Amino acid sequence: MSFTTQAAWIAVAALVGAGAVAGERDVYGGLVSIRGKKTGFFHVERLDGRAWLITPDGNGFLSKGINHLSFNGDRGRKTGRHEYRERVEKKYGSAKAFRGAAVDRLRAWGFNTLGAWCDDDAARLHRIPYTKILNLAASTTPGAWLEGKTADVFSEEFSAAVRKQAENLARPLASDPWLLGYFTDNELSFGPDWRLKTTLLERMLAFPEGAPGRKEAEKALAAHAGDSSAAAPEFAGAYARRYFESCRDALRAADPNHMNLGCRFAGPPAKEVAAAAAGIVDVFSVNIYSHLPDLAVIERLAAAAGAPVLVGEFAFRGRDSGLPNSRGAGPVVETQADRASAFARFVERLLSSPHAVGYHWFEHQDEPAEGRFDGEDSNYGLVDIEDRPYAILVERMADVNARAEAVAKGALGGFKR
């Protein structure tokens, strides 16, 4: 595979930025030809029938993001080594130098947002829009993501813990115009999935007698004459609604200025769960690990939640990377060229929906061949473990990202294959 030097990527950025497709952009990366309201913070507007994020300066913006830009990278589960950090520390000399170079390189590839789990200093010191994941429910319930453990969202203890977490993490960011918004959690379990096969109703009924969540589950079951199959969907909606309300209240108290980006659903949730976010989230975030997004599903989610949709994670893995790809979500394709083409097809399909306001790729660097903490050992990176870019992939990404707004507006028929 071929690799390109850092200096070359900066040259690519200059060419893309000067191109007619990119258009004139504000300091945040918003297109000045797409004009909304200037509020001082990122927000959502619908212009000419299409949803857009709007920059603090009032210009149209699609969030083109990267997850997990990290100086440390992943820790190998067998050796305990941070192989990526070893390489970049030797290459750049310090975390500060790495972050600056990495952000410059991402801009060269047309990315304009640091998504979930990126080093905080990379965004704050290098002036690029970013998101913050708060782990509101996860802070109360260890194992909420990895094991699908379920919080009792009906309890006062849950509400108090969520308020405390938001106060600690969100209040210090309340005046930052570069913050796009908050993800409240990551891939919580709202029903049967790869972690747990039980419904939320079954889980709450298993809580100790007298627990607030168990009481609510018993009421739901009684309302359906003991028919758990009928009660389960309704209860899932009620559970999700209480979760979203608690998060909304906590965020409003800590930071009323920034968007609520939702909880990064692990795939499209049930209709009752999606509808529970209505009137609460500003953006509905969902992770989609498939060859193409299903536009009917995007339409359904946007209609249920009354909010535009952001794909919080997607990715394609290449067999030619030398990594096992034995654990992890998303399609495995043959080559890096196939990864590049798959990226273009996915983004083109997504942006044909008037409800789509962004897409975040998982992730910046490859996982270790030995596997990270949960065993994932996949070729998710824009760069390999040596910090070398997959040239054919990022070159295509630069082209796609530069043209994304024009494709979203319908000015272009799609991306070059």
Is 90 exceeded by the pLDDT of residue 113?
Answer: yes
Per-residue pLDDT, averaged over 265-282, amounts to 98
* Confidence category of residue 321, pLDDT binned at 50, 70, 90: very high
What percent of the chain has pLDDT above 70? Answer: 93
Query: Residue 411: what pLDDT?
Result: 64
Could you tell me how far CA 235 lies from the centroid of its own chain?
27
User: How do the domains of the chain map onto residue ranges?
Assistant: 64-193+242-409
Q: pLDDT of 342-358, one tens digit each?
A: 999 999 999 999 999 99
Return mean pLDDT, the chain: 94
Q: Which one of 3.20.20.80, 2.40.37.10, 3.40.50.300, 3.10.20.30 gives the CATH number of domain 64-193+242-409?
A: 3.20.20.80
Per-residue pLDDT, averaged over 107-134, amounts to 95
Pairwise CA distance, residues 128 & 192, whole Å:
37
Query: Residue 19: what pLDDT?
Result: 39
Query: Residue 273: what pLDDT?
Result: 98
Is 70 exceeded by the pLDDT of residue 235?
Answer: yes
Pairwise CA distance, residues 223 & 237, whole Å:
15
Pairwise CA distance, residues 257 & 102, whole Å:
28
**Cα-Cα-Cα-Cα dihedral of 332, 334, 336, 341, to 10°?**
-80
> Any idea what the Cα angle at residue 125 is, between residues 120 and 127, rounded to 5°?
100
**256: exposed, middle or buried (C-beta count within 10 Å: 0-12, 13-18, 19+)?**
exposed
At residue 87, the 3 state secondary structure works out as helix
Beta strands in 104-174 (DSSP E): 113-114, 130-133
Query: Residue 124: what pLDDT?
Result: 84
* DSSP-assigned beta bridge partners for residue 360: 65
67, 363 Cβ separation under 8 angstroms: yes
Task: Name the residue with higher pLDDT: 160 or 16.
Answer: 160
pTM, two decimals, is 0.94
CA atoms within 13 A on the CB side of 110: 27
String of DSSP letters for 47-63: ETTEEEEE-TTSEEE-E
